[in-house]
Chain A
């Protein structure tokens, strides 16, 4: 047997247990979710309440069919749409700018690069790789990851309130808050996508003497650029929908208006607003598809040309970095047709950006008396030291309440007083540590611990976690089913790899399927989560079930789109191995395994984003961590809010590190 074969057999001897562990973990998480929270399925099982819910759904569907199309309200909705659009574009553009350097720092492949372990032994070397203090670069990497986690974990309305102190009231504050939140999200995904590129694919850049920056620019970035672009565009679309935060501090926007009208039950107006939101989502979808198509270029030169072109667009969205121009000419050399596509796409992005700047600065007549006001001016405040000094208002957030007296630490006098009141934790008062095999002991311990504030904070995380776990699993399952009819490769271009010649009626049927699936997905993701939550609450009553269904519906919409893109981004010739097999077999046996890792990345990321969404949904009668946090924040009990915030950040960090540890994010093999 040759050495080559030996190496190969050694490679295949290790069974890939990771997937089974992951599946088991998901199952366990599901079980825990059902055990940890109080699930009241009454809304779905009780016949009377079910009938009531059905009647309400019917009544509101009827109202939706008759939207308020009076000229006044349509003009109002149009104004709101423009406000939302400009703030969302500005926020996303700013976020892309900020996210690139942050992600470069947070990506181990880029920031730390190739490292040889200083210590021997396989296990030690693996542990060594998780120690941030091993080198300055590793420390920087850990710090960047923490920054992006905090940016992402803090709900955007909190960023908005903090920014009020910095730049004052107005739509710009909302756009900046949006930018901070999206920065955290984009940086995480960029860094994961870059980390997930197989090092063997860019090893040659390194072996030719390229440093970390060169490896990134010429190796890693082009290889991941397509996914990076897909995700950026998707995020821009999400930002457009979720721009509710803009209204929180002045400036209007579609999100806050829908939120208000839903709560007020003005369903005809909600109908109009949703129509506008859907139109906006659809337009954003079309534009982003156009951009992607322009950048994709010819199938035959897609690996080289497209990635360069994508890099060019990435630069364009960062407001014309000089390399953008430097990269473009080489593409033009050697191809017969000058590639207008990238320039067109770049132009579209620049145009959108210029328009939103103009609108934010001079075009927005939403203020009083219809006079245009420059909403960009407050940005100058950021340059003054005084504005930053005002951040001291939130200083107390950094001194979380740890309630040490309850566990007998800190000031002895206070601890003794707490003990006297019977409000201190006496863990082993009734059951000793050796009683661990008795269920009653665990109950007693839990009750004792509940006297400690920090423990109550930890317990409050159960509700958003439970909602997110169940909602994500439902949404992922739905998305996998919906992706098949949603995929253009399988519904329109199947003849190019399956060898079949579909009859015209078959083609029509498939096109119809595609249209129906896309419409479902657009509506599911075009309607914001909060809106789904309010609908579900109105249908089924407030509680966990309503929150979970809202999350599941939104997840279904978002994931169907990215799942579908992952499939459609595959060159069609990759599906050829099953030539002759049915389309469904090709989907299940070739397409799904190929994109599975991408899917899991997106799925896991969506789970994380769902945890944060569930935290926010806590505000609308679901309870848990988010509710407690915003409650304390809005009562200016910043110390307590700080503890809850710490928990939210901790949750985000744990999930993020977990996904990195499980290498669920390996994409693009």
Chain B
């Protein structure tokens, strides 16, 4: 009896040592293969309503977590740069990014960045220019006309977040292309209100006379607000948002995440909630190469107003 107990204790010690060795070996084997115990997903705060984003991206996190068998948690940030920083430094594993933030992450991370997928609507995204009715501005054929109408009126203009694709980068690019002049030279002030819904609100209440935002946020608003901030111009289509991930999650986990994302549909409550919130029919496959144009654009030193 006594010997048996000693033996079992010895066995316990041995196995504990073996476990410890295995554990340290496992750590030494490299982070790339070690699956994290928890996945952190974050998103650029393009909505502005933190609770709405927590609720809906929380649903996406739950869906992904169920599908891959690892708990996934959504962490909300109030700043575009913070979400890119979190992904680039490994504090988040997956991030819902816009095209510009994807390109920024690509420039920071290189091959460490991979794309899980994007929405069906992301490959033909559009921005709207809106104006307060008090300006008397009707629909314009191109942004050159808008620039001409605004010249000398002392109007104030607002973009969304500085790092937003559909709320700043693309509207600015189209403005530069079509009007041949930076908005700073046409409007009295050019402000960055932070998010799309705020742009719409500020144009509607006349704080700013003209603004730019993405079409989905405009469509989502109620009719009373739409009437107070009517569209004056629709931009040509471009590529936008993507669900990006760190490549060091490993091919196996990434494949499972991709499959889980493509499987999002209306059949589960979570899937239905996510698709409704993101105004999408489904998620589709995408490749990082489709955002290379933005990387080139950023690296070309385009005038982004700063």
CB < 8 Å neighbour of B201 from A263, A621, A634: A263
Q: Which of B41-86 contact A (CB under 8 A)?
A: 42, 48-51, 54, 58, 73-82, 84-86
Q: Of all chain A residues, which has the CB nearest B298?
A: A635
Contact B198 A543 (CB under 8 A): no
B42 contacts across to A, CB distance below 8 A: 169, 250
State the Cβ distance, A368 to closest chain B Cβ, in Å.
5
A157 contacts across to B, CB distance below 8 A: 79
CB < 8 Å neighbour of B163 from A248, A537, A634: A634
State the Cβ distance, A424 to closest chain B Cβ, in Å.
17
Contact B162 A169 (CB under 8 A): no
Contact A621 B189 (CB under 8 A): yes
Query: What class of interface size applies to chain B in its complex with A?
Result: 35 or more
The answer for the CA separation of A391 and B105 in the assembled complex, in Å, is: 16
Contact B54 A256 (CB under 8 A): no
The answer for the CA separation of A628 and B197 in the assembled complex, in Å, is: 24
What sequence of 0s and 1s flags, for each residue 136-163 of chain B, a beta carbon within 8 Å of any chain A beta carbon?
A: 0000000000000000000010100011
Contact A264 B197 (CB under 8 A): yes
A256 contacts across to B, CB distance below 8 A: 50, 78
The answer for the CA separation of A635 and B42 in the assembled complex, in Å, is: 18
Contact A393 B88 (CB under 8 A): yes
What sequence of 0s and 1s flags, for each residue 84-102 of chain B, a beta carbon within 8 Å of any chain A beta carbon?
A: 1110111110000000000
The answer for the CA separation of A264 and B52 in the assembled complex, in Å, is: 14
A257 contacts across to B, CB distance below 8 A: 50
Contact A248 B189 (CB under 8 A): no
Contact A263 B85 (CB under 8 A): no
Contact A169 B306 (CB under 8 A): no
Contact A634 B89 (CB under 8 A): no
A628 contacts across to B, CB distance below 8 A: 306
Which of B48, B192, B207 lies at the interface centre, i.e. has the most chain A CB atoms within 10 A of its CB?
B207
Contact A247 B81 (CB under 8 A): no
B104 contacts across to A, CB distance below 8 A: 635-636
Contact B58 A368 (CB under 8 A): yes
Is B179 engaged at the interface, CB distance under 8 Å to the other chain? no
Contact B192 A619 (CB under 8 A): yes
Is A210 engaged at the interface, CB distance under 8 Å to the other chain? no
Is A623 engaged at the interface, CB distance under 8 Å to the other chain? yes
B298 contacts across to A, CB distance below 8 A: 635
Q: Of all chain B residues, which has the CB nearest A169?
A: B75
Is B235 engaged at the interface, CB distance under 8 Å to the other chain? no
The answer for the CA separation of A248 and B42 in the assembled complex, in Å, is: 13
Which of B76, B89, B205 lies at the interface centre, i.e. has the most chain A CB atoms within 10 A of its CB?
B89
Contact B77 A250 (CB under 8 A): yes
B194 contacts across to A, CB distance below 8 A: 263
State the Cβ distance, B141 to closest chain A Cβ, in Å.
29
Contact B48 A634 (CB under 8 A): no
Is A632 engaged at the interface, CB distance under 8 Å to the other chain? yes
The answer for the CA separation of A30 and B78 in the assembled complex, in Å, is: 36
Is A160 engaged at the interface, CB distance under 8 Å to the other chain? yes
What sequence of 0s and 1s flags, for each residue 356-372 of chain A, a beta carbon within 8 Å of any chain B beta carbon?
A: 00000000000010000
Number of interface residues of A (CB under 8 A): 42
Q: Which of B92-151 contact A (CB under 8 A)?
A: 92, 104, 107-108
The answer for the CA separation of A584 and B81 in the assembled complex, in Å, is: 54
What sequence of 0s and 1s flags, for each residue 613-634 of chain A, a beta carbon within 8 Å of any chain B beta carbon?
A: 0000001110100001011111
Contact A165 B54 (CB under 8 A): no
Which of A252, A542, A619, A632 lies at the interface centre, i.e. has the most chain B CB atoms within 10 A of its CB?
A542
Contact B54 A368 (CB under 8 A): yes
The answer for the CA separation of A160 and B305 in the assembled complex, in Å, is: 25
Contact B79 A169 (CB under 8 A): no
Contact A631 B306 (CB under 8 A): yes
Contact A260 B48 (CB under 8 A): yes
The answer for the CA separation of A393 and B87 in the assembled complex, in Å, is: 11
A165 contacts across to B, CB distance below 8 A: 85, 89, 91
Q: Of all chain B residues, which has the CB nearest A620?
A: B191
In the complex where A393-B108, A542-B156 touch, is A160 in contact with B82 (Cβ < 8 A)? yes
What sequence of 0s and 1s flags, for each residue 207-232 of chain B, a beta carbon within 8 Å of any chain A beta carbon?
A: 11000000000000000000000000
Which of B82, B90, B192 lies at the interface centre, i.e. has the most chain A CB atoms within 10 A of its CB?
B82
The answer for the CA separation of A249 and B77 in the assembled complex, in Å, is: 4
The answer for the CA separation of A537 and B162 in the assembled complex, in Å, is: 19
A169 contacts across to B, CB distance below 8 A: 40, 42, 75, 77, 82, 86, 91-92
Contact A636 B306 (CB under 8 A): no
A408 contacts across to B, CB distance below 8 A: none
CB < 8 Å neighbour of A633 from B74, B81, B158, B195: B81
Contact B78 A247 (CB under 8 A): yes
Residues of A near any B CB (own CB < 8 A): 76, 157, 160-161, 164-165, 168-170, 247-250, 252, 256-257, 260, 263-265, 368, 390, 393, 537-538, 541-543, 619-621, 623, 628, 630-637, 640
Residues of B near any A CB (own CB < 8 A): 40, 42, 48-51, 54, 58, 73-82, 84-86, 88-92, 104, 107-108, 156, 158, 162-163, 189, 191-195, 197-198, 201-202, 205, 207-208, 298, 304-306
6 closest A-B pairs (Cβ-Cβ)? A621-B191, A631-B306, A165-B89, A169-B75, A634-B81, A263-B198
With A264-B49, A635-B306 given, name 5 new contacts (CB 8 A).
Answer: A161-B79, A260-B198, A264-B201, A393-B85, A634-B80
Q: Show 11 residue pairs from A and B whose CB-CB distance is below 8 angstroms, ordered by the A residue.
A: A164-B82, A165-B85, A168-B40, A169-B40, A249-B77, A250-B75, A252-B50, A368-B73, A541-B156, A542-B208, A635-B298
